[in-house]
Amino acid sequence: MATSKRPLQRLLSRVCRETRRTYGVRPQGHGHDPSFSQHLINLEYEYSAHNYHPVPIVFSKAKGSCIWDPEGNKYLDFLSAYSAVNQGHCHPRIMKALQEQAEKLTLSSRAFYNDRFPVFAEHLTNMFGYDMVLPMNTGAEGVETALKLARKWGYEKKKIPIDEASSSKQLSTIILAMEIA
């Protein structure tokens, strides 16, 4: 079984080397004392898939709209994790709510009822004027559900607003976001 992994490991190592060569990220030579940030960047390029090409800045802590790297340099976060943290990093009220909930119940699947979701669902439906809500874990799940709805009732509406959509790098999302030449 160990021999069957070796061709795959060699292929992945080659892909990693080619990616480093293509994007200019190379491990530091012997005798060079790289910053801790550069060390972490090198580790990620060596041991992680290259589905993103991030800006070569490492974040180690954040508060509000400020972010710091391991060397103590301060940055302003204008990206907000593609609006996932548009309320700011480590917002005190959100952190308090997360801590309180984590001390009671970390995760409850929809296979069981819990004491928080029904109240939240009622609040959302009242706020937005919908009859029901369907909770999802990720934007990709939302896109998949939208595709199912479009397949079932697509004859009633002929256009999906692709240019207004945003989600992760799931195959269905990439296909939806592609522009046709």
The answer on 115 and 131 residing in a single domain is yes
Buried b (16+ CB within 10 A) or exposed e, 148-161: eeeeeeeeeeeeee
| Helix 2-23 / helix 36-47 crossing angle, nearest 10 deg | 130
pTM across the whole model: 0.55
Provide the domain count of the chain.
3
Percentage of residues in the chain having pLDDT higher than 70: 67
Same domain (yes/no): 16, 33: yes
The parent domain of residue 149 ranges over: 110-177
Tell me the per-residue pLDDT of 8-50, one tens digit each, with 9 for 90 and over: 666 666 665 655 554 444 444 434 445 899 999 999 999 999 8
The predicted structure's pLDDT at residue 58: 93
Clarify whether residues 43 and 65 are in a common domain: no
Do both 40 and 3 map to the same domain?
yes
Q: What is the DSSP string of 118-147?
A: HHHHHHHHHHHT-S-----SSHHHHHHHHH
